[in-house]
Amino acid sequence: MPEQERQITAREGASRKILSKLSLPTRAWEPAMKKSFAFDNVGYEGGLDGLGPSSQVDTSTIRILGMTCQSCVKSIEDRISSLKGIVSMKVSLEQGSATVKYVPSVVSLQQVCHQIGDMGFEASIAEGKAASWPSRSLPAQEAVVKLRVEGMTCQSCVGSIEGKVRKLQGVVRVKVSLSNQEAVITYQPYLIQPEDLRDHVNDMGFEAAIKNKVAPLSLGPIDIERLESTNPKRPLSSANQNFNNSETLGHQGRNVVTLQLRIDGMHCKSCVLNIEENIGQLLGVQSIQVSLENKTAQVQYDPSRTSPVALQTAIEALPPGNFKVSLPDGAEGSGTDHRSSSSRSPGSSPRNQVQSTCSTTLIAIAGMTCASCVHTIEGMISQLEGVQQISVSLAEGIGTVLYNPSVISPEELRAAIEDMGFEASVVSENCSTSPLGDHSAGNSMVQTTGGTPTSVQEVALHAGSLPTNHLPDIWAKSPQSTRAVAPQKCFLQIKGMTCASCVSNIERNLQKEAGVLSVLVALMAGKAEVKYDPEVIQPLEVAQLIQDLGFEAAVMEDSAGSDGNIELTITGMTCASCVHNIESKLTRTNGITYASVALATSKALVKFDPEIIGPRDIIKIIESKTSEALAKLMSLQATEATVVTLGEDNLIIREEQVPMELVQRGDIVKVVPGGKFPVDGKVLEGNTMADESLITGEAMPVTKKPGSTVIAGSINAHGSVLIKATHVGNDTTLAQIVKLVEEAQMSKNPNKHISQTEVIIRFAFQTSITVLCIACPCSLGLATPTAVMVGTGVAAQNGILIKGGKPLEMAHKIKTVMFDKTGTITHGVPRVMRVLLLGDVATLPLRKVLAVVGTAEASSEHPLGVAVTKYCKEELGTETLGYCTDFQAVPGCGIGCKVSNVEGILAHSERPLSAPASHLNEAGNLPAEKDAAPQTFSVLIGNREWLRRNGLTISSDVSDAMTDHEMKGQTAILVAIDGVLCGMIAIADAVKQEAALAVHTLQSMGVDVVLITGDNRKTARAIATQVGINKVFAEVLPSHKVAKVQELQNEGKRVAMVGDGVNDSPALAQADMGVAIGTGTDVAIEAADVVLIRNDLLDVVASIHLSKRIVRRIRINLVLALIYNLVGIPIAAGVFMPIGIVLQPWMGSAAMAASSVSVVLSSLQLKCYKKPDLERYEAQAHGHMKPLTASQVSVHIGMDDRRRDSPRATPWDQVSYVSQVSLSSLTSDKPSRHSTAADDGGDKWSLLLNDRDEEQYI
């Protein structure tokens, strides 16, 4: 063997990793050497045998930054391969590196890097790393730190940070992620420390914090030996036998199989590197590519050396041990008999398996200017192998691709789009698809206040600070702009740019130069705007830098920086409220100095500061499909989650803060007290109380124990819990509510069906109306808008805010009104309804019981405890209570404590008990209080189960009394003092005083009234009987409310929805007229068309009453206008000329003015409208308003139209149907349906919720 080959073989045998990636037989590179060597004397043919010792061939890896597409790869390969001494050159765009085979005696790596740098890229030698298969183990002198960087807004910020940090002494490499808002830095700890890196980033104007130091994840020799021993086909051989046998090496390259695995449990890039670099070292593995976004890995391996099952076992054995691998169908058969992933892993589910052969990905595309770009992208990408379907949206800048992941990957799709000259990036479904990174996704529609869709169809930029045909996505604002010297701007004309890669190349290289603060390049216009420090650099020097990159550049002397102007053509505006809505949105935006919208011309003129905001930002503001209601809904979602890794006995081994986009189904999440539940899930460990009022509308917190379900967006009130994620991302309950609101807002359009009669009338009067409009359109044009304008003002004076004219005109057509229960029909807060003494009134009089109970409940945060404390203070006439010690609260049961110093409260009470409280004493009077020495009371307050746990017996009479209250939808709790049962307190969410009157008045107007609530049927029935509603839908979800509204609308009815909670917002948006209570949530108020400021249900009646007055006034205005025209036109035409009556032109003008004035005066008469007062409504309802019985109320469960009749059988049948009650989901008692006696079988009245009910009553 020649000396050169022995050296190469020895060197390759020393590195197991390098040889495992080479798929060439012995001397297979000799023909390539003959072709690639460039000799000065071309008359000789080169061969390896003729080379001296100095002509050895080395293989090295060079890191390359700045590549954006395959054209960059090709240009580098072509140029470097032409150099003398280069045997071969392979560039990888995905890995950002190049593998070079070269002759050191002819060319050096430094020369190669210099040549690549001259092309506009950054090149550096990858020390100790051959080919593209880096080792995970870091050198002993290197370490890695991860920084959390806040304040980055665009790629310019990323480039600034990377450029500055990379220049620091001791920094080996740096990678900044804009989407994750973090930076991963490899550094030499003996030269620089993480704190220094953080300070340097902070000095640039960003906020940086050290997240964690990434420890190198590497497998030792024992681990590798153990993993390789899992291959059933071939035992582990020695390294020398494997790597010194060139025949084996040649065979390895000829039989390669590609396998695609699904990997769950990856959270960040560290997991990707961990899998790629450790599995890449295994015997038989040729290559591995892991995609974090798709949770897949593509492995090329030799089936004679390893098997899919062995690869699966090896990946799952990697630290930290939370990877779950799913093999594709049929892959298990390629190895020996191994258990599948699902059989080994109890936590795996069918959802973890690969469900189909097609996947969908979203790709953000920048640089599209017209429909031709869209057609070009769709035409080219659809021809790629593996692409099933592609749809590109020009307005959103998003491409949706349906593809086969076994044939093509999202990265390949992105690269293909970039090869066409566009900028592309793969985004996930949970991320914002807006190129600006805004929280609202851009769309061609804008939801105005009145619900009218508005679209921006045409954009015209006038001469300002930007080219007219370029709308930049990002206006770079460098953190260095806070320098003492005022920065300046210059404009340059650039020629020679052909694609987006040229733009990226110029912007990236200029931003590295000292004194250049920001760069914005317009490809189509061939211009650039550069913001610079005049003390450091001048425009001519900037132009020279661009020329050095291979382009032609000249400074434009006549381009002075000025405020930008943009003129928009907006279609879809129908009234002045649309104009006001758009103008108010624009003027509130930072950077916009002037905004004027003209309804007549559908034009908008906007002046803006281009340093703060760009034209496309302005368009996004107008086009934004996401209303404030959706923005507030989405703000309820947590942004991060604490994902934990559990060990034996559910001990937490590791905690990690991860973005919500990376939380997967099956992850274990820790939620601390006061935090939001980030996902829907089930409680694994811990007990707590969850405030789900923002989602369910019910004010009472719900107890959560192991096995209970939790809702994303709800608040953890008390203890820490561990939950297992069951629904993440777009599958959560909160995300579904957001989707419902969005769909309802976009689908709610005026009814366009026109009856045949109306068509005939319209046709008959078509020509006459045309003549009238031509003759005098002013009066006809003023008839409707003046009445609507005055009507909305009158409504506001009466406490009714109406958003635009559409709901005002729609209100008089309403035939069905749907009321929510909690917070709408009821007050939404618990109140004490009754206090019943059960003990010796001489020993424990009512006043003393209230003082003791109020003191005990004062330490409780439970809503029922707050209600009891408030009642006791009001009845005792004091704001101070006694002392409470040894307080203990048991969720779902009750409280226990010791109370003292209540004698002072009783002695200083300001007034006697009120009559309602006094008559609650069974004795019928108040016993005289005896003087007693200060004493301490032992107090227990809670449900039956809580008192039984503490050794108290509850008689059947007391149990029957509690059951009676519970059948009325109230909560009954017991009080024991010093071991003696002494009282019962009934608490309920009281019905509003005017609710029954409002319902009766609506029914008398011919409007159907429906009660729809998420509460249980018993409570809903009790409330309905009190207010007189005979049709009830109980236990409904937010989606059920929307479906019920749509069902009534499909029947031809106009529907109004009255609600106050987040769960009501989808139905409010879907209804023909949504009415929100002024004290409700911001989301409900935003989604509604009408807002009741005074929280008075009679205002619902008033809004319908006022709407009828306005419609009647509009008709009167039209009649007046028609009379003027019908009389005036014939006279003006000379009908009475034979008798000598002829109108002069000034007379016609006066008549026309008079018609318009009369219409305006007629509309102003609405100012005299007075809302009917309470006495008038009561007088009309006197003698007609009667309460309903339970049998008269029809209750439907969810969307089921089957009626649930009232329980009229035995008392035990009534008890068996007692269910969850409103405002008492934690303190109501629920009997067992399978018990034979009320007092047998343990806890039949426990406060603890049934899991089935807890999931159903949302």
Evaluate if residue 457 carries a pLDDT over 60. Answer: no
Which of 963, 990, 1017 corresponds to the end of one domain? 990
Core vs surface per residue 802-828: b (16+ CB within 10 A) or e? bbbbbbbbbbbbbebbbbbbbbbbbbb
Mean pLDDT, to the nearest integer, of 889-912? 78
Mean pLDDT, to the nearest integer, of 784-796? 81
- Greater confidence (872 vs 734) lies with 872
Residues 253 and 301 in one domain: yes
Q: Which amino acid is at 927?
A: P
In a domain, 1221, yes or no: no
Evaluate if residue 1069 carries a pLDDT over 60. Answer: yes
Report residue 594's pLDDT band, with 50, 70 and 90 as the boundaries. confident
- What CATH number should be reported for the domain holding residue 867? 3.40.1110.10
Residues 251 and 341 in one domain: yes
In a domain, 1245, yes or no: no
- What CATH number should be reported for the domain holding residue 613? 3.30.70.100
In a 13 Å sphere around the CA of 1256, the CA atoms on its Cβ side amount to: 14
When the pLDDT of each residue in the chain is averaged and rounded to a whole number, the result is 71
Residues 61 and 150 in one domain: no
Mean pLDDT, to the nearest integer, of 1221-1250? 34
Report residue 395's pLDDT band, with 50, 70 and 90 as the boundaries. low
Q: Which of 479-488, 501-510, 662-671, 961-970 has the lowest mean pLDDT?
A: 479-488
What's the confidence (pLDDT) of residue 723?
A: 92
Q: Which of 383-397, 1040-1054, 1077-1091, 1122-1136 has the highest mean pLDDT?
A: 1040-1054
Q: What is the largest CA-CA distance in the chain?
A: 131
Residues 588 and 612 in one domain: yes
What's the confidence (pLDDT) of residue 942?
A: 92
* Backbone phi and psi for residue 265, each to the nearest 5 degrees, phi listed first: 110, -5
Class of residue 564 by CB neighbours under 10 A (exposed 0-12, middle 13-18, buried 19+)? buried
| Paired residues of 702 in beta bridges | 690
Report residue 562's pLDDT band, with 50, 70 and 90 as the boundaries. very low
- Greater confidence (181 vs 239) lies with 181
Residues 225 and 116 in one domain: no
What's the confidence (pLDDT) of residue 766?
A: 53
How many domains are contained in the chain?
A: 9
In a domain, 432, yes or no: no
In a domain, 1131, yes or no: yes
Give the integer Cα–Cα distance in Å for 974 and 961: 11
Residues 877 and 944 in one domain: yes
Q: Are 903 and 1206 in contact, with CB atoms under 8 Å apart?
A: no
In a domain, 76, yes or no: yes
Residues 477 and 461 in one domain: no
What's the confidence (pLDDT) of residue 330?
A: 60
- Greater confidence (574 vs 683) lies with 683
Q: pLDDT exceeding 70 applies to what percent of the chain?
A: 69
- Greater confidence (918 vs 1055) lies with 1055
DSSP 3-state of 298: strand
Active site residue 820: yes
Catalytic residue among 820, 1015, 1060, 1229: 820
What's the confidence (pLDDT) of residue 699?
A: 67
Give the integer Cα–Cα distance in Å for 1062 and 737: 8
* Backbone phi and psi for residue 893, each to the nearest 5 degrees, phi listed first: -125, -65
What's the confidence (pLDDT) of residue 669?
A: 92
What's the confidence (pLDDT) of residue 878?
A: 85
Give the integer Cα–Cα distance in Å for 409 and 755: 54
In a domain, 1161, yes or no: yes
Residues 611 and 644 in one domain: no
In a domain, 484, yes or no: yes
Evaluate if residue 282 carries a pLDDT over 50. Answer: yes
Residues 596 and 449 in one domain: yes
Structural domain of 735: 633-740
Give the integer Cα–Cα distance in Å for 534 and 511: 15
Q: At what angle do helices 109-118 and 70-81 cross, to 10 degrees?
A: 130
In a domain, 417, yes or no: yes
What's the confidence (pLDDT) of residue 453?
A: 38
pLDDT in tens, 1036-1060: 887 788 888 888 888 888 899 998 8
Mean pLDDT, to the nearest integer, of 1170-1192? 78
What's the confidence (pLDDT) of residue 1010?
A: 92
Report residue 895's pLDDT band, with 50, 70 and 90 as the boundaries. very high
Paired tokens of 956: 């059947």
Query: What is the DSSP pairing of strand 971-977 with strand 980-991?
Result: antiparallel
What's the confidence (pLDDT) of residue 331?
A: 59
Residues 592 and 454 in one domain: yes
CA distances from 1026 to 433, 540, 814 (A): 50, 83, 24
Paired tokens of 869: 């404390």
Mean pLDDT, to the nearest integer, of 901-923? 55
Core vs surface per residue 832-864: b (16+ CB within 10 A) or e? bbbbbbbbebeebbbbbbbbbbbbbbbbbebbb
Block residue for tokens 């949530």 = 1081
Residues 383 and 522 in one domain: no
Evaluate if residue 1228 carries a pLDDT over 70. Answer: no
Evaluate if residue 333 carries a pLDDT over 60. Answer: no
pLDDT in tens, 601-635: 777 888 877 767 777 677 767 655 445 555 666 67
pLDDT in tens, 464-520: 333 333 333 333 333 333 334 677 888 888 888 877 777 878 888 888 888 888 888
Mean pLDDT, to the nearest integer, of 1214-1220? 33
* Backbone phi and psi for residue 117, each to the nearest 5 degrees, phi listed first: -65, -35
Residues 566 and 603 in one domain: yes
Evaluate if residue 941 carries a pLDDT over 90. Answer: yes
> Is this structure's pTM higher than 0.85?
no
Evaluate if residue 879 carries a pLDDT over 80. Answer: yes
